[in-house]
């Protein structure tokens, strides 16, 4: 009787609808699988949502790498004629760090390499989209405290 009760509980638990929807891209050579979830950040002027990862525990004098994901393909296509600029800036000291390297894997996945936090304190990661005239059309700033 006990086994029947456990079986019924397992059966009912398996019928519950998922609490959230998640889609995974097919892994590409040299690219980790990307989980596409709800958008947590936005370049408002462009109406483009994105998520980022890699800044959970940055350290002084260690390279950090950031992955930016634009989950909606139609939003990613809006960026086709624009150029991403990214840089680190320490507002309290008025200086930045080494130039970042930007790697566009596909329209919805971008990696930032060569992020070096050369000292503790407040850092801003500026993510800017510029047009052909080098004018900033959208910017998002990530505040990072070390």
Residues near 43 by Cβ (< 8 Å), separated by ≥ 6? Answer: 50, 127, 129, 138, 139, 140
Alpha carbon of residue 139 to chain centroid = 14
Q: Is 0.85 surpassed by the pTM of this model? A: no
Other C-beta atoms within 10 Å of 109: how many?
19
Q: In this structure, are residues 66 and 115 in contact, taking their beta carbons and an 8 Å threshold?
A: yes
CATH entry 2.60.40.10 includes domain 35-145: yes
Tens of pLDDT, residue by residue over 59-73, are: 999 999 999 999 999
Alpha carbon of residue 77 to chain centroid = 17
Q: In this structure, are residues 111 and 105 in contact, taking their beta carbons and an 8 Å threshold?
A: yes
Tens of pLDDT, residue by residue over 20-43, are: 222 333 333 333 344 445 678 999
Question: What are the structural domain ranges in the chain?
Answer: 35-145
């Amino acid at each position: 009787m006990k086994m029947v009760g456990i079986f019924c509980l397992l059966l009912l638990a398996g019928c519950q609808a998922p609490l959230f929807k998640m889609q995974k891209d097919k892994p590409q050579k040299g690219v980790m699988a990307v989980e596409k979830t709800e958008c947590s950040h936005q370049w408002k002027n462009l109406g483009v949502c994105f998520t980022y990862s890699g800044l959970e525990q940055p350290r002084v004098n260690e390279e950090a790498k950031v992955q930016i994901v634009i989950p909606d393909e139609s939003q990613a296509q809006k960026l086709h004629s624009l150029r991403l600029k990214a840089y680190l800036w320490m507002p309290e000291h008025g200086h930045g760090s080494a130039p970042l390297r930007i790697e566009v894997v596909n329209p919805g996945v971008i990696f930032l390499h060569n992020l070096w936090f050369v000292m503790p304190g407040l850092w801003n990661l500026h993510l800017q989209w510029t047009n052909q005239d080098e004018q900033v059309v959208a910017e998002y700033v990530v505040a990072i405290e070390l």
